[in-house]
Amino acid sequence: MTFKFNNNGEILNVFVRSNEFATSVIVENSKNGKDYERTIREDTDGKFFTWNKHKFYLNDFMPIHMAELKTKVDAGEWITSDEICQAILTEGVDNVRFSVPLNLVSASICGSTLLDGDKEENVECKVVESYNRKVSTNYKLDLVPVTPSDRYANHRDWYTTDFVSAIRQGYIKILPCA
């Protein structure tokens, strides 16, 4: 995922493969257009990389908030999956809410649920993480209703790029944080 760091007024774009397992970052130098690999080190304050003799801790990226993303979407500006994931992390996974269309249940037979692919209902959902659905990996997001019901599907998962496209198209709406 690409993060932005403030380097005395200059914005650094830094690619980190995964906060948990990465051993290096790629720093994009806006002055010459080249990319530079920097080793991730750790001290008592956390994981960091160095750039021009300064330490940049991985948790000190420039935060993006959901309200800022909603404003960008409403203005027709481009947003990325990196930005949505960073905004979710900034606000806290448990606090972010979306209005997501979920398929309605057409029948329940012997414990199996049949969904009607033609009928949907907009439902307030939150993101839940599991071992292969971490927001920080920017791969897939699993959304579940804040208030579960037998009327509609109990979850929906999205590739993050598809999720962002659905937001840009107005299919999914960003709601105020909890």
pLDDT digits (tens, 9 = 90+) for 113-167: 554 556 778 899 999 998 888 998 899 999 999 988 777 667 789 999 999 999 9
Kindly give the interhelix angle for 81-91 and 160-168, rounded to the nearest 10 degrees: 90
What was the pLDDT predicted at 102?
Answer: 85
Distances (CA, A) of 126 to 4, 31, 91, 92, 130: 25, 40, 12, 11, 13
Instruction: Specify whether 90 is located in the same domain as 163.
Output: yes
Instruction: Specify whether 138 is located in the same domain as 104.
Output: yes
pLDDT reading at 105 higher than 80: no
What was the pLDDT predicted at 18?
Answer: 67
Distances (CA, A) of 81 to 42, 87, 160, 177: 27, 10, 6, 18
What was the pLDDT predicted at 108?
Answer: 55
Helices (H), the chain: 66-74, 81-91, 160-168
Instruction: Specify whether 90 is located in the same domain as 169.
Output: yes
What was the pLDDT predicted at 154?
Answer: 74
Instruction: Specify whether 30 is located in the same domain as 91.
Output: no
- Of all residues in the chain, the percent with pLDDT exceeding 70 is 88
Instruction: Specify whether 14 is located in the same domain as 54.
Output: yes
Domain that holds residue 134: 66-175
Instruction: Specify whether 50 is located in the same domain as 95.
Output: no
Residues 6+ apart with CB under 8 A from 130: 142
**103 CB burial (10 A radius; 0-12, 13-18, 19+):** middle
Structural domain count of the chain: 2
Q: What is the pTM of this model?
A: 0.79
